[in-house]
Copies of this chain bind each other. A is one copy, B any other.
Amino acid sequence: MSKDSEYSAIHYNSYLELEKLLSAQTLRSVELGKPAHEEMLFIITHQVYELWFKQINHELYSVAEMFQNNNVDERNLNTCVGRLDRVIGIFRLLIEQIRVLESMTPLDFLDFRSYLFPASGFQSFQFRELEVLLGLKEEKRTTYHGHGYQSVFDQKKKELLQKLEANKSVLELVEEWLERTPFLELGEFNFLEYYQNAVETMLAKEKKAIMATDALDDHYKEMRVNMLGDTHTYFANIMDEKKHEELLEKGEVKMSYKATIAVLFINLYRDEPILQMPFRLLSRLTDIDDFLATWRFRHAQMVLRMLGNKVGTGGSSGHKYLAKTAENHHIFGDLHNASTLLIPRSELPELPDEMKKRLGFYFSSK
């Protein structure tokens, strides 16, 4: 490709490096003199995965960078949300793509499966990079046969992963950004107090109303009051920073108390102009968590379908391991938890005027 000028003529073929790209499908079965038609699909599907992983990581690195310094530019939030939207769009493809791979039947796979030993998706560096970038910690991982996830990589790649683990992940960067949310107190306004009052009032009112309802029989009354009790416990926890510290230590939550309160605030007042984009950002991270889990779940299904209970090419009882990770390898679970703590808008206290102004645009405040 001629590099001398931005006006040089360029061909689709050389721009996309198609010679290179389209010569990278070497079928083992062909090399071994026992050509298996379906091996092409196996290779291409996995190569497409790797290309998309590269793209996802390209986006995640850029998002991480925008949160890197301690002063996130609001102009960037728009871009961040757009890039996360794109990551979600890619995950849609990754999930749908499993269906294409499933068009290869288990019997077809047997035609070349034994030649691939011990290659395995466990050895995908970019996928581990993706997980670490988002914030999956080594100690949170389901181990496989007691080995850490890094054991399958060479020294150079191990070091890259360790370095990446040492850097701040998207989860940690977003946490720090949340901790800096400046609106939680202002003059008379103390968000936590406001919120606590609203919760108490709401629960008391609701209990009274339930007890007074003629249309409800005793069984249901009891049920609803019990539900209120449960709810009460959840709310009590969030008001108590110590409780939160305990949960943090046990690993049941990941975000600091301050960040958690900010998540609650953003969710409750998401329509105020300055919170609209932060709200979208948190929603996208929740989406990514869900799509990633769905991908793991579908991946586990595909492995079961392809191998039954046989061990995978990498020697793993792949299905069970993968099904477990779909359940356990959540990264942004704390954002899901916020749902538990929301209260109806009708119970929310009106924000003081000065507060409203601060959450709005310069233009409209004039």
Question: Could you tell me which A residues sit within 8 Å of B by CB distance?
Answer: 1-13, 15-18, 20-26, 28, 31-32, 34, 37, 40-41, 43-44, 46-48, 50-52, 54-55, 58, 62, 74-79, 82, 85-86, 89-90, 92-93, 96-97, 99-100, 103, 105-107, 110-111, 114-126, 182-183, 206, 209-210, 213-217, 220, 223-224, 227, 230-231, 234, 267-268, 270-274, 276-277, 279, 283, 286, 290, 293-294, 297-298, 301, 304-311, 315, 323, 326-327, 336-346, 357-365
A90 to chain B, nearest CB (A): 6
Contact (Cβ within 8 A) A107 B342: yes
Bound Cα distance from A223 to B7, whole angstroms: 12
Residues of B within 8 A of A345 (CB): 107, 110-111
Contact (Cβ within 8 A) A7 B209: yes
Bound Cα distance from A53 to B106, whole angstroms: 24
Contact (Cβ within 8 A) B308 A215: no
Partner of A75, one of B13, B124, B271: B271
Partner of A12, one of B58, B121, B307: B121
Contact (Cβ within 8 A) A344 B111: yes
Contact (Cβ within 8 A) A22 B48: no
Residues of B within 8 A of A215 (CB): 2, 4-5, 7-9
Residues of B within 8 A of A15 (CB): 28, 43, 116, 119
Bound Cα distance from A364 to B315, whole angstroms: 45
Contact (Cβ within 8 A) B86 A90: no
In order of increasing CB-CB distance, the 9 nearest A-B pairs are: A308-B340, A308-B339, A12-B123, A8-B215, A106-B339, A17-B24, A7-B213, A86-B103, A110-B344
Residues of B within 8 A of A6 (CB): 28, 32, 34, 114-115, 209
Bound Cα distance from A340 to B294, whole angstroms: 25
Contact (Cβ within 8 A) B359 A47: no
Contact (Cβ within 8 A) B47 A16: yes
Contact (Cβ within 8 A) A234 B119: no
Contact (Cβ within 8 A) A294 B305: no
Contact A220 B336, CB 8 Å, known A3-B31, A50-B16, A51-B51: no
Partner of A272, one of B75, B86, B298, B364: B75
Measured CB to CB, the nearest residue on chain B to A215 is: B8
Contact A214 B279, CB 8 Å, known A16-B47, A308-B340: no
